[in-house]
Structure 1
């Protein structure tokens, strides 16, 4: 009875819209009219033949793989360094965690200003005489996706660092003392003690980073809107554009469920693979 109000609200704002979207994925609904025609699997057949969907899948995979690898690598590095910071650990943890507290839209606007033609990055590069030309961070098709990935990494690393740091705190000191007696150096202790026992925390961090990157929308929408020339058009941008710009909500619903299936598949595989690597002490 206590959870019933929250459960009803959850069903109303999550489950019911999801079921309706699943139904619309088999229709040609434009998102506005009452004229809804059932067309079966035509939307799903179409999306597998649509080159723009293929481009979005490739861009999304590059975005996800780059973000997940770098975010977790930095998270482990900073967590290990912060654990050795002693009394200042709490302060540094708050500083690193701060970007995730800020709205992603606000973060995107700040970075868009920094990336602009006369922005901070171009000013610094010019002042340091690294380059004499202004770089189009968000307008160059070769740099736009990298620029968005950098913002995503900057915003999310602190959150995942806290997850890794919490896992680090659970490793018994006795194991490090035993490794000192055995004459292990810092790298050997990290490879043989820290990293294997970090696997449960890394499992959570990798899965959350993957899910967050696969459905990333805010940063990309504000920074580039999917451009230039669709070079940053991740699947979430493609779905929103098809639904609201081209009035193809049925088709967009079909793409969204393919994305949902992809997220579930990747998450289950990651959990299964990483769980096998977890060790006990």
Structure 2
């Protein structure tokens, strides 16, 4: 026997029961759960990056539990429940995939063959129609504030690019990066910490723009570099221990030699 989605909903109901539920779960609100949701999403991404399929099952379950929790809270406030969430999700995905559901229902699937680029174009056009229908106003209004900084920068740039506010080619972005580096150097030379902080932000934003033009996910690229740094620094640390020396006894030149060894070993 396997538990089902209905069993998970029953479990959530029990946890939130005012008389017999779990004290911790009863204290939670929409806002208090958000940090846990973000953490679970990152743990899912981490398992995928490490190809840890066994633990991925657990992490996906934890992420699903977050959705069920939010649905329960909304139901308690007479807003909506999990069934409404699923209904709206299915309707939205049918609407956004007219090449798969040409009649707008699940009853008949399949349509004319379409290229991925056309799918992406149609997807964005439909999403824009949905935003217009919501009368949200500005083009950037519904870009989530809680996205990681690099991801949000890329999303803001993609949204602006759709209305033509974009560099025509990579060359313009590279020039902008060099301009931002010059402005950062000037701020540092002037000892202007506030301006330096702003220029660093501008430089990062321009670098995200370069990644977007090269069709590279900046968040993923940085995560890969973080992992590479950890591997190489781990080699340096191992050499320090193997030589039975303290970090303070070693020159930067010696540490760089071990760093280069790590690079040569493909770490």
User: Could you say which TM-score interval applies, normalised by the shorter chain?
Assistant: under 0.3
Q: Which has the higher contact order (CA 8 A, sep 6+)?
A: 1
Q: What TM-score do you get using the length of structure 1 for normalisation?
A: 0.26
Q: What TM-score do you get using the length of structure 2 for normalisation?
A: 0.27
